[in-house]
Amino acid sequence: MGLMGLGTVGSGVMQIIEENQRHLQQQIGCPIEVSRVLVRDMKKKRDIVTPHDKLTTNPADIINDPDIHLIVEVIGGVELTKEYLLQAIENGKHIVTANKNLMGTYGVEILRKAKEHGCDVFYEASVGGGIPIIRPLVESFAADRVHKIMGIVNGTTNFILSKLSKDSETFEVVLEEAQKLGYAESDPTDDIEGIDSAYKISILGSLGFQTNLTISDVCSQGISNITKRDVWYGKKLDCEIKLLAIAERDANGISLSVEPVMIHQNHPLASVNGVNNAICVYSDAVGETIFYGQGAGSLPTAHSVVGDIVAVAKNMNQGVSGRSLPETHEEKRIKSDDEIYEKYFILIEANNGNSSISNIISSLDGIFDTIECFDKSIDENACNEIMIKTQLISKSNLNKVLRKIEELSVVEKVASVYRMEGISA
Ligand SMILES: NC(=O)c1ccc[n+]([C@@H]2O[C@H](COP(=O)([O-])OP(=O)(O)OC[C@H]3O[C@@H](n4cnc5c(N)ncnc54)[C@H](OP(=O)(O)O)[C@@H]3O)[C@@H](O)[C@H]2O)c1
């Protein structure tokens, strides 16, 4: 095989192949030999010892080498990487990748090309790092009908939200701590703004619903506006705030979202803390199934990559390469905001202290028949705050309601809005 990338994941792949060679060979029937390794900088000091003549900075040394049957891509990136992999597939090479950005953007094109050329493309590590989720969705749920996938698929944001829930620090302080600990990148935009999770849920949704979904189908929102006050209100309602990636389908179509959600403490995702990931799959026959574990890191992610390498090698041995690619036979219909119904928490700030609260309540009462319940502030000290919990309301109706609330003269602003999950009544 050729290995593209010798960073966090690539080094883990080398380590697992070296340490577990005998065990791997027993499963495959032959040794795995890493014959070339693509890097950017040949002179870089590395923890993993790799013979210098195996290293290259020229991707063609791997893509065009007739002795390389399998390419493991762990360099990251999208456009250039897509070109490398399409070229490699045209040359008849099987692919294993951990690249969610690539698969969440060009997965359809890459899988189509692989099918044409009878090549395998496996990407278990692209979602959930070390957690097996892609193969179970494709294989173990084959006899069932998945209608919802809901997960915490980004460790960085979950670390930050877990800290915000337990400690008294602000978002900015916790983000800085995450960066110092190496859990957040120096530019954390992709994680914090939900982009990383959006790539992942587009992949999971495609597999769960057997259709072609991409990141452009995901409605996403990040966590940078979450305040300590929101966390406090969440707790008063027995909820935690989590960044959830959610894919749902019913007879009317599919909705994909990434957003901070108030989730009831009784729901298993509410107690997933730190950098861990967890994904709940809801299907007709089995009900709720939960996948939990380390969503990133060198060895956990490499374990998934090497699992895929074994799968490719077994398929090669049996002469069935390219036959286990995921099928996409369902029509894709993304729901409009009129068709997506959820429950919401809304926090309103009044502009004039105590007297405004009763004014707001009476202003809301009767105007918005879509809001079936609302409570006065649960914070006795916050005399100018009102919390509303809605029943199921469409997204488009919610937006109309929010605009009307903001137009009320007694209202300073709508301070926060959160989707609620795991709330029974
Ligand atoms: N880290 C995780 O926990 C994790 C988890 C799940 C999925 N992933 C995915 O796995 C992939 C790799 O992540 P990583 O954390 O291992 O990245 P990383 O530590 O930054 O390593 C990237 C490696 O690729 C090489 N590289 C990058 N661009 C290149 C180019 N244009 N040409 C040649 N070599 C290039 C780098 O070379 P140099 O060493 O010379 O700089 C480095 O060895 C990404 O797609 C990521 O999303 C990572």
Residue 328 CA, ligand 1 centroid: distance in Å: 29
Do 268 and 377 lie in a common domain?
A: no
pLDDT at residue 405, as a whole number: 85
- CA-296 nearest atom, ligand 1: 3
324 is a domain residue: no
**Annotation marks residue 200 as catalytic:** yes
210 is a domain residue: yes
Mean predicted lDDT score pLDDT of the chain: 92
- Of residues 93, 200, 242, 395, which has the active-site annotation? 200
pLDDT at residue 364, as a whole number: 72
pLDDT, average across residues 101-128: 96
CATH number, residue 213: 3.30.360.10
Do 287 and 162 lie in a common domain?
A: yes
pLDDT at residue 59, as a whole number: 98
Do 50 and 161 lie in a common domain?
A: no
pTM of the model: 0.94
Residue 347 Cβ contacting ligand 1 at under 6 Å: no
Do 287 and 306 lie in a common domain?
A: no
d(CA 252, CA 256): 13
Residue 152 CA, ligand 1 centroid: distance in Å: 22
Tokens 């008063």, residue? 236
Residue 200 CA, ligand 1 centroid: distance in Å: 17
CATH number, residue 382: 3.30.70.920
- Of 75, 124, 131, 191, the one to substitute when testing ligand 1's pocket (max ligand atoms within 8 A of C-beta) is 75
Do 188 and 214 lie in a common domain?
A: yes
336 is a domain residue: no
Residue 74 Cβ contacting ligand 1 at under 6 Å: yes
383 is a domain residue: yes
State the pLDDT confidence band at 328, using cuts at 50, 70 and 90.
Answer: confident
pLDDT, average across residues 273-298: 96
Do 140 and 169 lie in a common domain?
A: yes
User: Nearest residue CA, atom 15 of ligand 1?
Assistant: 8
Radius of gyration of the chain (CA): 24
Is the model's pLDDT at 42 over the cut of 90? yes
pLDDT at residue 242, as a whole number: 98
Q: How many residues does the chain have?
A: 425
Residue 296 Cβ contacting ligand 1 at under 6 Å: yes
The more confidently predicted of residues 376 and 287 is: 287
Residue 50 Cβ contacting ligand 1 at under 6 Å: no
**Which residue type is seen at 119?**
C
125-136 per-position pLDDT tens digit? 999 999 999 999
Do 72 and 139 lie in a common domain?
A: no
How large a percentage of the chain has pLDDT more than 70? 94
425 is a domain residue: no
**Which residue type is seen at 287?**
G
211-231 per-position pLDDT tens digit? 999 999 999 999 999 998 999
- CA-6 nearest atom, ligand 1: 43
Residue 366 CA, ligand 1 centroid: distance in Å: 56
pLDDT at residue 336, as a whole number: 97
Do 285 and 139 lie in a common domain?
A: yes
pLDDT at residue 370, as a whole number: 46
pLDDT at residue 378, as a whole number: 58
Q: Which domain holds residue 266?
A: 134-294
pLDDT at residue 132, as a whole number: 98
Do 310 and 180 lie in a common domain?
A: no
User: Nearest residue CA, atom 32 of ligand 1?
Assistant: 40
- Of 8, 37, 63, the one to substitute when testing ligand 1's pocket (max ligand atoms within 8 A of C-beta) is 8
d(CA 110, CA 89): 8
Sign of CA dihedral 230, 235, 238, 240: positive
Do 96 and 157 lie in a common domain?
A: no
328 is a domain residue: no
pLDDT at residue 324, as a whole number: 81
Domain boundary among 265, 286, 318: 318
Is the model's pLDDT at 372 over the cut of 60? no
Is the model's pLDDT at 248 over the cut of 70? yes
Domain count, the chain: 3
Do 154 and 111 lie in a common domain?
A: no
326 is a domain residue: no
Do 177 and 197 lie in a common domain?
A: yes
332 is a domain residue: no
- Of 39, 54, 61, 87, the one to substitute when testing ligand 1's pocket (max ligand atoms within 8 A of C-beta) is 39
Residue 75 Cβ contacting ligand 1 at under 6 Å: yes
